[in-house]
Amino acid sequence: MVKKKNAISEFDKEKYIEAWSQPGAINAGLNYYRATFESLSKTDDWTGIINVPTLVIHGMKDIALTPKILEGLSDYVKDLKIVRVENASHWVMVDEPEVVISNIKEFLS
């Protein structure tokens, strides 16, 4: 759940409902997760290193992808910056947009 009350406007809520009400929309979203988990099972023997600068902005109150997911990332990403946003959920960009924007701007400059 989004941590900030009123973070999503009524207009945005209506747009989400409209989009998710389209035929096949929910299935498409679920297929994204199905494909992700299927591909993760094929990475056990991957030994590569990501060699491009990488920014991870993580909401520490995320109940879907807990902070534990950050452990070991630096083993696979040579130039990694992790921003831990303490009071943000899975929807860190909704909970703390200023933090997300400022960190992306800084990272890209």
Residue 2 domain flag = no
Return d(Cα 18, Cα 29) in angstroms, integer. Answer: 14
Q: Are residues 37 and 15 in the same domain?
A: yes
Q: Are residues 33 and 60 in the same domain?
A: no
What does residue 31 show for φ and ψ, rounded to 5 degrees?
-65, -30
Which one, of 4, 76, 5, lies nearest residue 46 by Cα? 76
Residue 48, pLDDT score: 78
Residue 1, pLDDT score: 62
Residue 28, pLDDT score: 86
Could you say which DSSP state residue 83 is in?
Answer: E
Q: Would you write out the chain's pLDDT as a tens digit for each of its 109 residues? A: 666 777 788 898 899 899 989 999 889 888 887 887 666 666 666 677 899 999 999 999 999 899 999 999 999 999 999 999 999 999 999 999 999 999 999 999 9
Residue 66, pLDDT score: 92
Q: Are residues 27 and 75 in the same domain?
A: no
Residue 54 domain flag = yes
Alpha-carbon 28 to chain mean position: 18
Range of the domain at 67: 47-109
| Structural domains counted in the chain | 2
Q: Are residues 17 and 55 in the same domain?
A: no
Q: Are residues 55 and 101 in the same domain?
A: yes
Could you say which DSSP state residue 87 is in?
Answer: T
Q: Are residues 35 and 70 in the same domain?
A: no
Q: Are residues 75 and 54 in the same domain?
A: yes
Residue 40, pLDDT score: 62
Residue 35, pLDDT score: 82
Q: Are residues 66 and 82 in the same domain?
A: yes
The DSSP annotation for 11-33 comes to HHHHHHHHHHTSTTHHHHHHHHH
pTM of the model: 0.74
